[in-house]
Amino acid sequence: METQQIGVIQEIEESIDRILTNDEIDEIEESLMCEKNSEGWFVDAFGKKVAYNGLRAVKPANALMNLTKEQQREIEACARDYKYFRKNYCKILTREGVNRPELREYQVRAENDLLTGEDTLLFFPRQCIAWDTNIVINSITTTSKDFFDLCNNNNEMVLGLSETNAKFIKSIKVKNKFVSTPNGEKEVLEVHKTIPYRKFKIILSNGLFLEGAYNHVVIDNEQEEVYMKDSLGKNLITVDGVSTVVEVIDLEVEENMYDISIDSEDELYFSNGILSHNSGKTVLVAEYLLYNALFRKDINIGIAANVIKLAREVLDKIKKIYVLLPFWLQQGVVNWNKSGIELENGTRIMSSASTSDSFRGFTLSIMYCSHEDEEVTILCTYTNTTKTVSLKELNKLLKSDNIYKILTKEGFKNFNGLKKTTNSTYVVLEFDDDTTFKCTTNHRIEMEGVYTNVCDIVIGNTINGKVVRSVDIIKDIKENVFYDPINVEDTSSYIINGMSHHNCDETAFLKEFDEFVDAVVPSMSSLPNSQAIYSSTANGMNHWFKMVTDAKKKVKKTLDADYMIELDNGDFISVADYKEIMDKEPL
| Helices within 326-435 (DSSP H only) | 391-398
Furthest-apart CA atoms within the chain: distance in Å: 91
- Burial of 269 from C-beta contacts in 10 A (0-12 / 13-18 / 19+): buried
Closest to 486 measured CA to CA, from 499, 503, 502: 503
Reduced to 3 states, what is the DSSP secondary structure of residue 427? strand
- Are the beta carbons of 41 and 56 closer than 8 angstroms? yes
For residue 214, what is the enclosing H or E element?
none
3-state SS assignment for residue 42: strand
d(CA 121, CA 538): 11
- Spatial contact of 302 and 520, defined as CB atoms under 8 Å apart: yes
Q: What is the pLDDT of residue 553?
A: 53
Burial 432-452 (b: 16+ CB within 10 A, else e): eeeebbbbbbbbbbbbeeebb
Query: Which residues are CB-contacts of 69 (< 8 A; sequence separation ≥ 6)?
Result: none
CB 25 within 8 A of CB 11: no
With residues binned 3-state (H G I as helix, E B as strand, rest as coil), the percentages for the chain, rounded to 5, are 25, 40, 40
* Residue 514 pLDDT: 60
| Residue 203: C-alpha distances to residues 249, 269, 356 (Å) | 8, 18, 52
Task: Report the alpha-carbon distance of residue 293 to residue 301 in Å, rounded.
Answer: 8
Question: Which neighbouring-strand residues pair with 275?
Answer: 270
Interstrand relation of 300-305 and 366-367 (parallel, antiparallel or unpaired): parallel
Per-residue pLDDT in tens (0 to 9) along the chain, 587 residues: 455 678 889 888 888 888 888 888 889 988 889 989 888 899 999 999 999 998 889 999 999 999 999 999 999 999 999 999 999 999 887 655 677 877 766 677 778 888 887 766 565 544 567 767 777 777 778 887 888 788 777 654 444 433 333 455 677 777 788 888 887 888 887 787 877 778 899 999 999 999 888 878 888 887 777 888 889 999 999 988 999 999 999 988 888 888 887 766 567 788 888 888 754 557 888 899 999 999 998 888 888 765 566 678 788 889 989 999 999 999 999 999 988 999 999 999 988 766 666 676 766 666 664 445 556 788 888 888 888 887 777 877 877 667 888 888 778 888 777 777 777 778 888 888 777 888 877 777 888 777 787 888 888 888 888 888 888 887 766 677 777 777 677 666 667 666 666 554 333 344 455 666 666 666 666 666 677 666 654 444 445 555 555 555 554 444 444 444 445 455 555 555 555 555 554 43
> Collapsing DSSP states into helix, strand and coil, what is residue 406?
strand
Distance (Å, whole) CA 264 – CA 241: 21
Positive or negative: CA dihedral 256, 262, 265, 268: negative
Decide: residue 340, CB within 10 A, 0-12 exposed, 13-18 middle, 19+ buried.
Answer: buried
H or E stretch covering 148: helix 144-153
Residue 253's CB is within 10 A of a number of other CB atoms, namely 9
pLDDT, residue 75, reads: 94
Q: How high is the pLDDT of residue 79?
A: 93
Q: Using an 8 Å Cβ cutoff, are 192 and 539 in contact?
A: yes
What are the contacts of 24-29 at 24+ separation with CB within 8 A? 25/88, 25/100, 29/89, 29/326
How many CB atoms sit inside 10 A of residue 135's CB? 24
Q: Cα–Cα distance between 10 and 13 in angstroms, integer? A: 5
Please check whether residue 418 is in contact with residue 394, taking contact to mean a CB–CB distance below 8 angstroms: yes
Q: Is the pTM of this model over 0.85?
A: no
Per DSSP, the residues of 451-471 read: EEEGGG--TT-EETTEEEEEE
Among 150, 176, 149, 136, which Cα is nearest to 269's? 136
By the 8 A CB rule, do 456 and 444 touch?
no
Helix (H, G, I), strand (E, B) or coil at 375: strand
Q: Walk me through the domains of the chain, giving residue ranges and CATH numbers.
A: 8-122+283-353 (3.40.50.300), 134-278 (2.170.16.10), 371-502 (2.170.16.10)
Eight-state DSSP code of residue 553: H
DSSP 19: P
Which H or E element spans position 108?
Answer: helix 105-114
Residue 446's contacts (CB-CB under 8 Å, 6 or more residues apart) are 409, 452, 463, 464, 493, 499, 500, 501, 502
Q: Quote the pLDDT of residue 88.
A: 93
Residue 397, C-beta contacts closer than 8 angstroms, at least 6 positions apart: 378, 389, 404
DSSP 511-552: TTHHHHHHHHHHHHTTSTT-EEEEEEETT--HHHHHHHHHHH
The Cα 19–Cα 25 span in angstroms is 10
Radius of gyration of the chain (CA): 27
Distance of alpha carbon 430 from alpha carbon 441, whole angstroms: 15
Q: E strand or H helix at 360, and its extent?
A: none
